Structures are given as C-alpha cells and as structure tokens.
Structure 1
Amino acid sequence: MNTTTNIAQTILDQLGGSKFTAMTGAKNFLTIANGLQFKLPQNFAKNNISVVRITLLPSDTYSMEFGKILKQKDPQYGVKMPVYKKISVHEQVYADQLRSLFKDETGLDVSLGTMGKKNPGSLSL
C-alpha cells in the first residue's frame, strides 16, 4: 500500500471501519489525495448529504466536506446533469472528532454504541 492508500484506510478505521459502513450505508469509497471520499445513500442523511470528503491536513488534523449531488437541467443540451453542491466544510478536525462531526452533520449514527467500549457484553438496561 502506498501513503495515499494508507491515509484513506486510516481515516476509514478512525470512522469505525466495517461497522461504520454497515451503519451508514457508505459506499463507493475513493482514495483521493491525502484522504478519502465516499457516498451515502440518496435522501438518507440530513440535508440530503450524499458525498463526504475527508482530507488529512499538514497540521495532522482533517478537513471534512459534506455535499450532495443534484440533477440540474443543462440549458445548452436540455438534459439533466449531475451537479455537486457543497453543504459545509470543517477544518482542523481532530481524529477523535471525526465520528461525532459526521453524526452532527448527517444525523446518522456511526455505531451501535459498543465501539470503543472495553467490555460491550456488560451493557445493562
């Protein structure tokens, strides 16, 4: 694996890995320069967010960008074309803030509540 792939994998691991994917429906993972991009199911998240980009910054923090894909009619050709619309960008996000910021922006839980707990079998009602 090269450095860019390692960064993307680390970001996914910090979000929760396969548990994150299962809980959010995230798909179409793409390694980008110093980061990771993925899609969420359409009309599933708050504000219809369907694209998330997370980039590692030189300060060893992250930039998180949330956006959506719209279909707008192209005036020249008269057909609907996909257009990306940025909804929000957050800079200087620490690794331990990635999951909570994702939840705040999308409204989607990233786990069943057992991630990071030492003994998830000891939950009581």
Structure 2
Amino acid sequence: MCERVATTADPHFRNARILNGMAVSAPPILKTLKTKDMIAKTILQQIGGKRFTAMTGSRDFIDMGNGLRMSLARNKTSANRLDIIYDEGADLYNMRFYRRTFSKKTFECKTKDIAVHEGIYFDMLEEMFTMVTGLYTRF
C-alpha cells in the first residue's frame, strides 16, 4: 500500500505531499517568464533572430536584465561588442558599440567607445547596426 509522507510547511514540497491520505507526487513547478527575461529575447527577435546571427557572425549573447550584450565579428569600425539597452520609460533603445581589449601581460581590461546612439525605435535597430558596422543583416 501507499505510505504516509510527513508534510512540510510548504504545500508544494517537491518530493511528495499528502492528498486524501495517499502519497502523491507534487505537481511540477512551472517557471513563468518575467519581463526582464523576455527583453533580451525580444531584442534579438527585433534585430533578426537566427538570420541576424548567421549573417553577422555575432555570438556570446548575454541577457543584461534590461538589454542584450553580444560579441561582434570583425567589421569596419573595429567594434567587438554591442550593448542594446531598453529604456522602458520612453519605449526606445540605446545602442553602444565599443571595443574591449585585454592585456595578457598586465591583465588590464580597456574599453573604448566606438559609437553610442540613443533614442532608437525598434524598427531602426537593424538599419543602425548596418550603418555602424557595415555588416548586412538581411539579403
């Protein structure tokens, strides 16, 4: 027969709980997407998604909470990083192209801003990216 399981203070205890005197496993905990998690995914979709990644060679996508950071392939401005930050108040984006270098000799990390654009609408993200880097995002 079924064994009785000791209850805990949390009714959704992961291992087991008592329901009508019988031990049953707890329902799986569903992870809900928060708006902070969705911002980076939305930005990537707005700039082209997988097509953007394939066309530009961008990699190392990092969710910054309110934006997206990525490493860029070689381009005309020598920028190797891009931050796209979402401004919730104005519903606009800020783009920061910069070059980050690391010295293996002195272990210093230097950052040089290449281009900073503020107040960009979502439909202008691809165009601004192409204008600064020279990398096309579509055929």
1:37·1:53 contact (CA, 8 Å) conserved in 2? yes
Query: In structure 2, what is the Cα distance between the partners aligned to 1:4 and 1:84?
Result: 26
* Seq. identity, %: 37
Which residue of structure 2 aligns with residue 92 of structure 1?
119
The structure 1 segments of at least 4 consecutive aligned residues displaced by more than 4 Å after TM superposition are none
TM-score, normalised with respect to structure 1:
0.78
DSSP 3-state at the match of 1:56 = strand
Structure 1 or 2, whichever has the larger Rg, is 2
Query: In structure 1, what is the Cα distance between the partners aligned to 2:50 and 2:100?
Result: 24
Q: 2:86 matched to 1:56? A: yes
Which residue of structure 2 aligns with residue 19 of structure 1?
51
DSSP 3-state at the match of 2:108 = strand
Q: Which has the higher helix share?
A: 1
DSSP 3-state at the match of 1:46 = coil
Shift of 1:80: 5.1
Letter in 2 for 1:54: I
Which residue of structure 2 aligns with residue 9 of structure 1?
41
Shift of 1:19: 0.1
DSSP 3-state at the match of 1:110 = coil
Unaligned residue ranges in structure 2 (runs of 5+): 1-32
Aligned alpha-carbon RMSD (Å): 1.5
Deviations 1:87-115 (A, max 9, x none): 11111100010000000000000112xxx
Deviations 1:34-88 (A, max 9, x none): 11000012xx112111100001112001000000122458xxxx52533221111
Report 1:1-125 matches (<5 A): 1-41=33-73, 44-57=74-87, 58-72=89-103, 79=106, 81-112=108-139
DSSP 3-state at the match of 2:77 = helix
